[in-house]
């Protein structure tokens, strides 16, 4: 049972939650892509939905599948968002943004009545923080913002190395919103709410990858022998 099989199993359960007429937030990443492929099959079989993509990559993937797209200007309230995550804890708190789409992902999730996370069960962790926390920043005054982020992190009882994310060519990674990302390798985040508040207090921070109180359910797939077993946390 491979990673793609597990992603597809979680995505398949999420596609079953989609009903005709829904306005859907559509996430970013390889698990969200598995969902987009299955959603595309349903759309071609007659399902009528409108998707709001969380990144330019997701927009392109949805267009390739023939999924009708809209914006939050046209549809400010969504029925359901389906997205991946980098880590999920028992309280459905998440780290997201490994793929760099955290700002749009959070705006879309916040506009949704329900947010269902789809993931490999290996991402279900007792304590968030082994995955580096992405922090999206405005590049103006980066040196000062970087220092302020370090202080904010310490004030929330965390410590670790922080680096500016680089693209494959070595230049700073740029998000769809034109910002940079600082990845904070903290190992453990004992109080995510405290860290979230501390980061939001830094003026150059545009958004961070802690998604707290947004996910209503997580669909987790794990391999048992040759089968993918799906567990659901929360209320999808
Ligand atoms: C993108 C994200 C993704 O949902 C997260 O990185 C998980 O990606 P994948 O499904 O490829 O493991 O937050 O910003």
pLDDT tens-digit map of 140-171:
999 999 999 999 999 999 999 999 999 999 99
- pLDDT of amino acid 236: 86
Cα(1)–Cα(131) distance, rounded to whole angstroms? 23
Cα(152)–Cα(196) distance, rounded to whole angstroms? 9
Cα(186)–Cα(9) distance, rounded to whole angstroms? 31
86 pocket-lining for ligand 1 (C-beta < 6 Å): yes
Contact between residue 23 and residue 48 where contact means Cβ atoms under 8 Å apart: no
Q: Establish whether this prediction's ipTM goes over 0.90.
A: yes
Question: Ligand 1 centre and the CA of 203: distance in Å?
Answer: 26
* Cβ neighbours of residue 162 closer than 8 Å, sequence gap 6 or more: 146, 149, 150, 153, 182, 183, 184, 185
- pLDDT of amino acid 29: 98
- pLDDT of amino acid 1: 75
233 pocket-lining for ligand 1 (C-beta < 6 Å): no
pTM recorded for the entire structure: 0.97
pLDDT in tens, 34-68: 999 999 999 999 999 999 999 999 999 999 999 99
**Is the C-alpha dihedral spanning 157, 163, 164, 168 positive or negative?**
negative
Choose one of 8, 31, 136 to mutate for the ligand 1 pocket test, by most ligand atoms within 8 angstroms of C-beta.
31
For strands 78-83 and 23-26, give the pairing: parallel
Query: Cα 195 vs. chain centroid, distance in angstroms?
Result: 18
Annotation says 105 is catalytic? yes
CA 34-36-37 angle, to 5 degrees, is 65
Cα(127)–Cα(188) distance, rounded to whole angstroms? 6
Low-confidence ranges of the chain (pLDDT < 70): none
27 pocket-lining for ligand 1 (C-beta < 6 Å): yes
Choose one of 27, 125, 130 to mutate for the ligand 1 pocket test, by most ligand atoms within 8 angstroms of C-beta.
27
- Tokens standing for residue 7: 């992603």
């Amino acid at each position: 049972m491979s990673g793609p099989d597990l992603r597809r199993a979680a995505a398949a359960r999420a596609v079953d939650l989609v009903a005709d007429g829904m306005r859907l937030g559509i996430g970013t990443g390889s698990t969200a892509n598995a969902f987009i492929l299955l959603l595309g099959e349903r759309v071609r079989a007659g399902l009528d939905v409108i998707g709001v993509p969380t990144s330019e990559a997701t927009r392109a993937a949805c267009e390739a599948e023939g999924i009708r797209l809209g914006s939050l200007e046209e549809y400010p309230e969504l029925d359901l968002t389906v997205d991946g995550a980098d880590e999920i804890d028992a309280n459905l708190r998440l780290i997201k943004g490994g793929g760099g789409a955290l700002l749009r992902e959070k705006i879309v999730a916040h506009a949704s009545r329900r947010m269902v996370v789809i993931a490999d069960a290996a991402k279900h962790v007792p304590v968030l923080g082994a995955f580096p926390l992405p922090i999206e920043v405005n590049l103006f005054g980066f040196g000062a913002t970087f220092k302020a982020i370090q202080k904010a992190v310490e004030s929330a009882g965390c410590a670790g190395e922080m680096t500016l994310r680089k693209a494959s060519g070595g230049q700073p990674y740029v998000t769809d919103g034109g910002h940079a990302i600082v990845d904070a390798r903290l190992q453990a985040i004992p109080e995510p709410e405290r860290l979230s508040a501390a980061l939001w207090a830094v003026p150059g921070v545009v958004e961070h990858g802690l998604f707290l109180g947004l996910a209503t359910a997580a669909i987790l797939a794990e391999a048992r022998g040759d089968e993918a077993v799906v567990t659901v946390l929360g209320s999808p």
